[in-house]
Structure 1
């Protein structure tokens, strides 16, 4: 009887073991299926903390350039398990207040533009003092380190302007109009100054009210009507290129329209010859890398750039390159 009970116990234990193994196998398969489903949704195995990063820019309403920057930032945030907050104001004092609001929320990192650095210096200093790591993006490369930011991501605006001047020389242009749509923006001043550095011809700055496209168009049109020697118009943002084309047509001018920045409409204009060339600073990359660099710093105390800006441009885009980039401009990442 004792031997019988022993064999029964062994049999029951074996059955229980097989049952548990079967459950374990089923559970493991379900877990693996869940992991695969999460990966398909872009939620692959996240093991890092859920941090909150805030991006505060000097963008005005409706500026498509910043839609591309946000697209890159959101993509990186989803990958890095980041809660991404975005706010903007083209008035420097209001932008500084938005930085203060992010500090009050005790965010884990701040990304900020320094288009008007003097107005932003104190706000950035408060963030650094609060122990919040700061990355500057797009504008303010010269002030970034001084203000205490980890690094700057963007193009060197002077170098970008110099590239434009060199391209205008290649095209045989003699007189260029550099259209500044935001007064007080140091990056815009640097771009036009860079053009003057390398352009063999004459450069004139034209200040316009960038918040009103009709005003921009009428100002450029009036200049082209009164000065027939202008054979190149350089706008400092993609949305203004199309307006410059309309001004050219209204003035009956033969000037070539060139622009900083790239979007789907600019790419189409390059393809059909309406525009001569564009300078791409890769805004998607600026947003993406800003999130990634903050994440790397929080996760592993990594800092890229060695104290120098991480450059995302400039890249001169002509008709030939525009066709190759059309897929990306249509989806809003270039």
Structure 2
């Protein structure tokens, strides 16, 4: 059970009607469970996957069922970027983990060990949306500061 993943889904559900389907965290079972959820709800027109490996498995189910579904997800991976570029996935949300996790540690270290040094301005660390319009730029910067 992961409360952060539930929070992601609940936030999405505040804007659109939702039905949560537990696709599991096991890449081997995600396509089957996603297909069962899609078949049980044939009027589904949008799916939000909570991680890149889930996105891959859910898209496999969508493809196998021949459905046309607005598919989006959280986090980046090479397969997700490929699916965005091919138009199968509309967008993903880049959590920018380095900015949200590593940079606060550096700032605190500099503050505690550098006579109270703080950055001269805010560090923009919120999530970014990656879609077909910016996927190639994001892919070029993957693994570097951005």
Distance 2:59 2:107 in 1: 38
1:206 aligns with 2:24: no
**Matches of 1:187 and 1:272, distance apart in 2:** 29
Number of aligned residues: 142
* In 2, Cα distance between equivalents of 1:268 and 1:257: 13
SS of the residue aligned with 2:54? helix
Q: Residues 216, 332 of structure 1: CA spacing in aligned structure 2 closer, same or farther, 3 A cutoff?
A: farther
Equivalent residue number for residue 275 of structure 1:
89
1:197 aligns with 2:5: no
Cross-structure match for 1:322: 135
Match of 1:222 among 36, 39, 47: 36
Q: Distance in 2 between matches of 1:280 and 1:256?
A: 18
Alpha-carbon distance in structure 2 between the residues aligned to 1:290 and 1:240:
29
Larger strand share, 1 or 2: 1
**Partners of 1:272 and 1:333 in 2: CA distance:** 26
Moved over 6 A (4+): none
Change (3 A) 1:284 1:247: same
Partner of 1:291: 105
Deviation at 1:194, TM superposition (A): 0.9
Residues 267 and 326, structure 1, Cα contact 8 Å, conserved in 2: yes
* Aligned-residue offset at 1:320: 0.5
State how far apart, in whole Å, the 2-side matches of 1:237 and 1:332 are.
21
Superposition deviation, residue 288 in structure 1? 3.0
Task: State the TM-score, normalized to the length of structure 2.
Answer: 0.83
Q: Distance in 2 between matches of 1:243 and 1:193?
A: 21
CA contact (8 A) 1:225 1:253 kept: no
Alignment of 1:187 with 2:1, yes or no, is no
* In 2: Cα distance, 1:244 partner to 1:259 partner: 10
**Structure 1 unpaired stretches of 5+:** 1-182, 305-309
2:34–2:61 CA contact under 8 A, matched in 1: yes
Q: Deviations over 1:39-91 (max 9, x none)?
A: xxxxxxxxxxxxxxxxxxxxxxxxxxxxxxxxxxxxxxxxxxxxxxxxxxxxx
- Superposed CA RMSD in Å reads 2.4
